[in-house]
Amino acid sequence: MLKLSLTNIELAQYITKQLNMHFPDKNIYPNRLFSSLEKTLKRAEFCFSHINIKYYFDGANVIFNHLHTDQYAMFLYYLSNTIWQEEQDRFLASKVYYLNKALHSLDVFYEVTLPDIFLLIHPIGTILGRGNFQDYFVAFQRVTIGGNPDLEYPCLGKGLALYAGSAVIGNCQIGDNCLVSLGTTVMDQNIPSDMIVFGNYPEIDYKKTQKSVIQRYFR
């Protein structure tokens, strides 16, 4: 069961006040969010229920607190993406995406498909562009996922953690259960499963890990 810090109506009002304050070109009213908001909360509940951090689950309920900034950043991505998928409302989806960028310095475009289960940890300065994401994805601050000049994008394995300042760019195949170390850049390179990756393109290296991304961050 999802335990909310605001009711659905209060949350819709809260979001529209933020949107109208930041973007006063044309007012958005709470009823415009109701359909997408309900679907978004279901997506957030499913995702948060898998996260092994006390602020997401109290032993009985899944928690969504609008003042927990990591949760709210993830929620706003889900909302912008849901608006786009369900309503094809590019105007509103753009505003929610832009709000997320303004509040959290997080750039995840509403057309980008993040997995059903993922975790962002204080993701200031993080850019998650187009790519093939799998469940149990973790990104910290200043992480970059994106394309190379030929517009080739990475395919990411299940259970991938990218630590602060790391990047995966271009035509990459990253295996399951990999950890990309602090400040590491992988570009147009492949990484087998169960590896810790370190270094910078073109000189990267990796070694086997016994650690499990899923067991560390997820239930």
Measured on CA atoms in the order 18, 21, 23, 24, is the torsion positive or negative?
positive
pLDDT digits (tens, 9 = 90+) for 54-92: 999 988 999 999 999 999 999 999 999 999 999 999 999
CATH of domain 118-217: 2.160.10.10
The chain-wide mean pLDDT, for the chain, equals 97
What is the C-alpha separation between 7 and 121, in angstroms, rounded? 25
pLDDT digits (tens, 9 = 90+) for 145-184: 999 999 999 999 999 999 999 999 999 999 999 999 999 9
φ/ψ (deg, to 5) at 147: -95, 160
pLDDT of 1 > 90? The answer is no
For residue 88, give every residue at least 6 positions away whose Cβ sits within 8 Å of its Cβ, in sequence order, or none: none
pLDDT, residue 200, reads: 94
- Residue spans of the domains in the chain: they are 2-104, 118-217
Tokens of 69: 């900034």
Evaluate if pTM is beyond 0.85.
Answer: yes
Whether pLDDT at 8 is above 90: yes
Residue 196 has pLDDT above 90, yes or no: yes
Neighbours of 122 (CB within 10 A): 13
Note the pLDDT tens digit of each residue in 89-132: 999 999 999 999 999 999 999 999 999 999 999 999 999 999 99
Task: Enumerate residues 6+ apart whose C-beta is below 8 A from 117.
Answer: 46, 47, 50, 135, 136, 137, 218
Angle at 123 between CA 122 and CA 124, to 5 degrees: 100
14-50 burial string, b = 16+ CB within 10 Å, else e?
ebbebbeeeeeeeebebebbeebbebbbebbbebbbb
Q: What is residue 179's predicted lDDT score, i.e. its pLDDT?
A: 98
